Amino acid sequence: MKCHEIDYELIGDDMQMVEIELDPGETIVAEAGAMNYMEEGITYEAKMGDGSNPEAGFISKVFSAGKRMITGESLFMTHFCNQGHGKQRVSFAAPFPGKIIPMDMAKHGEQIICQKDSFLCAALGTQIDIAFNQKLGAGFFGGEGFILQRLQGDGMAFMHAGGTVIQKELKNETLRIDTGCVVGFTQGIDYDIEMVKGLKSMFFGGEGLFLATLKGTGTVWIQSLPFSRLADRILEHAPAAGGNSQGEGSVLGGLGRLLDGD
């Protein structure tokens, strides 16, 4: 199925949203709960599957939805269709601060492998599936687990990532990255992990025990602030339940909590 051709505009800088312009009859598929606003002519419906194969039977759709559940995503995807007479707009926002990455799939070999939670929305016709990582080391220690997402199609798709996003072009090269910072990569890139060398670097370097290695020729997207890292920092500095946060980050702050009986 050829993907619908859609126009878009990115709005904002550090907490972006993407506004999609749909012609009459055009549809975009998005993760449940990603919609920000939509104009009058837009209707939406929660469906099992991405709609890339409209002739698929009920069992096939259930199987597709079941695979999405393995990745921790919602059982349903939301289809937004313009059923009005003119151009209408619908917008989507990422669930945490960062950037939205627009990708013309036709320019990237019609296939992208990405983190299981980085997909935001895509033109109808894009196949959204799971990709199992066949290497045990990458599966257990790579931060991504065995399961990645595979996007296939010739239209526009949108990923979101934390912090700043950089795009690297590899030409038969190797790139080593913190395991949580990999957003996605194109065909021709081999993903694996390697252990940090040296006991001192391993335990006191602060970079973890493993690094992701991406080898080959293709495009790699990297995020500067994975949401897991942001969440860890918030939990680390959050006051205890019911406690006060006076002087947070200072010696007096700790003394204040001690005097308060915390």
Question: How far apart, in whole angstroms, are the C-alpha atoms of residue 122 and residue 127?
Answer: 9
What per-residue confidence (pLDDT) applies to 133?
59
pLDDT at 193: 75
In 3D space, the residue among 194, 190, 26, 256 whose CA is nearest the CA of residue 124 turns out to be 26
What's the pLDDT score for residue 237? Answer: 75
What is the pLDDT at residue 240? 60
Render pLDDT for 86-98 as a digit per residue (tens, 0 to 9).
Answer: 999 999 998 888 8
Query: Is residue 20 packed enough to be buried (19+ CB in 10 Å), middle (13-18) or exposed (0-12)?
Result: buried
Identity of the amino acid at 122: A
Query: Quick one: 74 exposed, middle or buried, by C-beta within 10 A (0-12, 13-18, 19+)?
Result: middle
- Please list the pLDDT of the chain residue by residue as tens digits (262 residues): 588 999 999 998 878 999 999 999 999 999 888 999 999 999 999 987 777 765 555 555 555 555 555 555 566 889 999 998 899 999 999 888 889 999 999 999 999 998 878 899 999 999 988 876 555 454 555 454 446 888 999 999 999 999 889 999 999 999 988 878 889 999 899 988 776 665 444 444 445 567 788 999 999 999 998 877 777 778 877 776 555 554 444 444 554 454 444 4
Q: What is the pLDDT of residue 10?
A: 95
Residue found under tokens 């959204």: 128
Residues 6+ apart with CB under 8 A from 169: 218, 219
Pick the CATH number of 7-226 from 3.60.160.10, 3.40.50.920, 3.40.50.10190, 3.40.190.150: 3.60.160.10
Give the DSSP H or E segment for 20.
Answer: strand 17-22
Phi, psi dihedrals of residue 172, rounded to the nearest 5°: 55, 45
What integer pLDDT is reported at residue 152 of this predicted model?
93
pLDDT score at 54 = 57
